[in-house]
Structure 1
C-alpha cells in the first residue's frame, strides 16, 4: 500500500448529519520509536502491547454546514470545552484532508474522555487520535456505502473495496498522522509499526498485527501502571522526537532498535522471559538516555521513578520473579509480568511500590483486543 491508496474517489453522495462513537486503547511499546522523519514516518520500527483498561472513548457528532471555508469543530474533554486542544486537531485535519475530503463540509463536535490522566506518559495521544481516526473512518464508510447503494456503478466496490482490513489499515494510517504511536492502538495483542525486513507486511505508513508465533508466556500479559506523576510533561513527545535530529547517538539508537526488533521475534516465539526482561528494560532506559543526551537535554523521570526501578530489581533478584519494567515518555512506570505471577506481584506492588505513586494511585491493566465501536 502507498499513500495514494488511501485517497478516495470523489464522493457522489453525502450525509446530512450523524454521530459515531469509538473506544480505543493506549499501548505500551516494548521496542521504542523515538525520532521521526517528515510526515510522521518513524526513524526506526517499534512493537507494542495493546492495553485494555487504559483507553479513550470519543463521540464525534457531525452536521452539514453551508460553506466550505476552513475546518469547523469544537472539542470537549470530560464535558469541559478544551480550546487548547484545537491547534493539534486542526493540524491533524490539515494533514488528512486529502484522504478525507469531506472534512470541510461539516461542523464536528468531538467529545472525549480518558480512563487515565491526560498527558502523563500513558500515551493519551495514541488512544485519542486512534479513536478520532476511527470515528472519521466510520463517516467515510457511511458516505461510500451510500454512494455504492444509490449512485455508484456496480464496479465501484471492486475498485475500492471497503472491507474491514482496509478500514483498519486506513484508520491506522490516519491515526499516525495525528500521533505516531496512535497507529499501534487499533488492533489487539502485539502491533508493529515501521518497515522491518524480518516482519512480513510491516510498513512505515500504518501499524500491523504482529504476524508470527507468540508463546503462551506472553498471553494475557499484565501491565500495572504506577502513576508517579500525573501532571503534564515538561517536554512534549513532539519536541523530544524533533531533538533526535542531529542527536550524537541517533544512528546507533536506530540500529539498536532494528536489532532489538529482530531479537524479540525469537524471544516471543520461545517464551524466554529473562531475554524479554533484558531487552524491554534496556529499551526503556535507552529511550530516556536519548532524552538526557539531546541538545537541549531533559529528564522526564522523577526520583520516585528510580526508586521503583531499584525496588523491582531487588525484588526480582530475591524472589526469582519474572517481573520487569518499561517506561514511556514520562515518569510513570509500567510494571510488566506474566499472568501466572499476578497475585504475588500485586502484593509486592501494594506493599513496596504504592508509596512511590502520586496519591498512591496505580492502574491494573492487561493486554487487550484493540478498539471497539460503541
Structure 2
C-alpha cells in the first residue's frame, strides 16, 4: 500500500534558476459527498465526483531562485510569494496559501529556495459554492509538480498525478478530485481498486454510455460568499449524533454507484445523487451549531425539477454542494429539452438570472 513517505523526495538531480508554468484545473461536483475529515485532510468517508469542464481556475506560477544574501537573512528562510487574483494583489488569500505551503514543504523541500508569483483567475464566481478552492488548489499543485518534474525528470506520469492530487488535498480536500479523470474516487473503498485516502483516482470500473458527456447546469441562486466555510462544516461532523451512520451510508451509496455506472440505470442514479445532496444539508441542519445553507429559491428549484421529471419522465436531477446553488445534472441526449425547461422555469430563481452551462471534463491541463 502506498504511504505518504513514498512522496517525500530524497535528492534532486537537476537545478533550475527561474521559469514559469501555467495550468488550468476544473472544479468538480461530488455525487457521493465528502463531509467530515480526520487529521491531515484524510476523509471520514469515500466520495466520488464528476470532473467539470468549464468551471475552472487558471493559474500561472513564476519562480526565481533566491540569491545567497536573500537566502541567508531571516526572511529568506521563510516562504516567499506574491499572490494575484484576476490581476490584482489579493492579501486575504495569502494566509491560506501560506498554510498550504507549510503543509506540503515536507513533500517539496525546494519551496523555500524560490520566490513565487502566483497569478490566478476563475471562470466562475469565487466562494459561491462551486468549489473554487478545489480548482484553485489543484491548479497550484499542478504548477508545483511541474517544477518538481524539472528537478526530478525521472518521475513517472503516475507518480506525477498521484502526488499532485495528494498536494492538492492538503490545500482543499476535494481539490484532489480535480486533477485527473472524468469520474474520480477519493477515499479507501473495499470494492474500488486503487482507491486511497491520500489522493483521488480515476474511477477504474466500467461506465455506461448514459454517463458520457453528462451535463451540469449550475443555477446561481446566491453568488455571495458561503454562509459557513467548508472547514467549519467538516469540523461539525466531530461528535455529530448521526456521523457514524452517515459515513456508513456513503460507503453503501458508493457501492451502489459501481453497478449503476456499469448498467446505466439513470433512475437509480438519480435516487442516490439527490439523497446524497439532501443528506449533506441534513447533516448541517442537525449539527451543533446548526445551519440552513439552502435559500427559499433553492427549494423552489428542487420542487420544480421533481415536478418536471414526474410529468415528462426525463432523467434530470439535482445535487448541491455546501451552499444554495443548484447543480442540474442530465444526460447529453436530453440537453435541448432540459435547457429549455431551465430557461422557462428555473432561471427566474437565479440571482440576476445567472447560470453556468457545464459538462464532464477531463481534469487539469498544462497551458
Shorter-chain TM-score range: over 0.9
For structure 2, which runs of at least 5 residues remain unmatched after alignment?
A: none
> Any idea what the Cα deviations from partners look like across 1:277-318, whole Å, max 9, x if unmatched?
000000000000001111100111111100000000000011
Which one of the candidate residues 68, 78, 82 is aligned to 1:70? 78
2:95 match = 87
Which one of the candidate residues 288, 294, 301 is aligned to 2:281? 288
- Residues in 1 aligned to 2:48 and 2:55: alpha-carbon distance in whole angstroms: 18
- Residues in 2 aligned to 1:103 and 1:248: alpha-carbon distance in whole angstroms: 42
Tell me the secondary structure at the aligned position of residue 76 of structure 1. Answer: strand
- Calculate the aligned-residue CA RMSD, in Å: 0.8
- Residues in 1 aligned to 2:123 and 2:351: alpha-carbon distance in whole angstroms: 17
1:196 match = 189
Q: CA deviation at 1:10?
A: 2.2
Q: CA deviation at 1:13?
A: 3.8
1:243 match = 236
- Residues in 1 aligned to 2:13 and 2:180: alpha-carbon distance in whole angstroms: 31
- Residues in 1 aligned to 2:353 and 2:13: alpha-carbon distance in whole angstroms: 55
For these two proteins, the number of residue pairs brought into alignment is 359
2:54 match = 53
Tell me the secondary structure at the aligned position of residue 101 of structure 1. Answer: coil
Q: CA deviation at 1:141?
A: 0.5
- Residues in 1 aligned to 2:152 and 2:245: alpha-carbon distance in whole angstroms: 46
Q: CA deviation at 1:16?
A: 1.0
Q: TM-score, normalised by structure 2?
A: 0.97
> Any idea what the Cα deviations from partners look like across 1:230-270, whole Å, max 9, x if unmatched?
11012100100011000010001000001000010001111
> Any idea what the Cα deviations from partners look like across 1:49-108, whole Å, max 9, x if unmatched?
000000000001111113141111111111111110011111110110000001101111
> Any idea what the Cα deviations from partners look like across 1:152-175, whole Å, max 9, x if unmatched?
xxxxx4xxxx11111000000100
Tell me the secondary structure at the aligned position of residue 77 of structure 2. Answer: coil
Tell me the secondary structure at the aligned position of residue 200 of structure 1. Answer: coil
Tell me the secondary structure at the aligned position of residue 43 of structure 2. Answer: coil
> Any idea what the Cα deviations from partners look like across 1:326-356, whole Å, max 9, x if unmatched?
0011110000001010000000000000000
> Any idea what the Cα deviations from partners look like across 1:166-186, whole Å, max 9, x if unmatched?
100000010000000000001
1:154 match = none
- Residues in 2 aligned to 1:253 and 1:280: alpha-carbon distance in whole angstroms: 14
Q: CA deviation at 1:12?
A: 4.7
- The answer on whether the counterparts of 1:226 and 1:332 sit within 8 Å (CA) in structure 2 is yes
1:356 match = 349
Which one of the candidate residues 99, 105, 122 is aligned to 1:97? 105
Q: CA deviation at 1:273?
A: 0.6
- The answer on whether the counterparts of 1:188 and 1:367 sit within 8 Å (CA) in structure 2 is no
**Residue 301 (structure 1) aligned with residue 297 (structure 2):** no
Which one of the candidate residues 206, 217, 221 is aligned to 1:228? 221
Q: CA deviation at 1:144?
A: 1.5
**Residue 257 (structure 1) aligned with residue 250 (structure 2):** yes
- The answer on whether the counterparts of 1:29 and 1:47 sit within 8 Å (CA) in structure 2 is yes
Which one of the candidate residues 314, 317, 329 is aligned to 2:310? 317
Q: CA deviation at 1:27?
A: 0.3
- Structure 1 moving runs of 4+ over 3 Å: none
1:14 match = 15
> Any idea what the Cα deviations from partners look like across 1:175-220, whole Å, max 9, x if unmatched?
0000000000011210000000000000000000000001110110
For structure 1, which runs of at least 5 residues remain unmatched after alignment?
A: 146-156
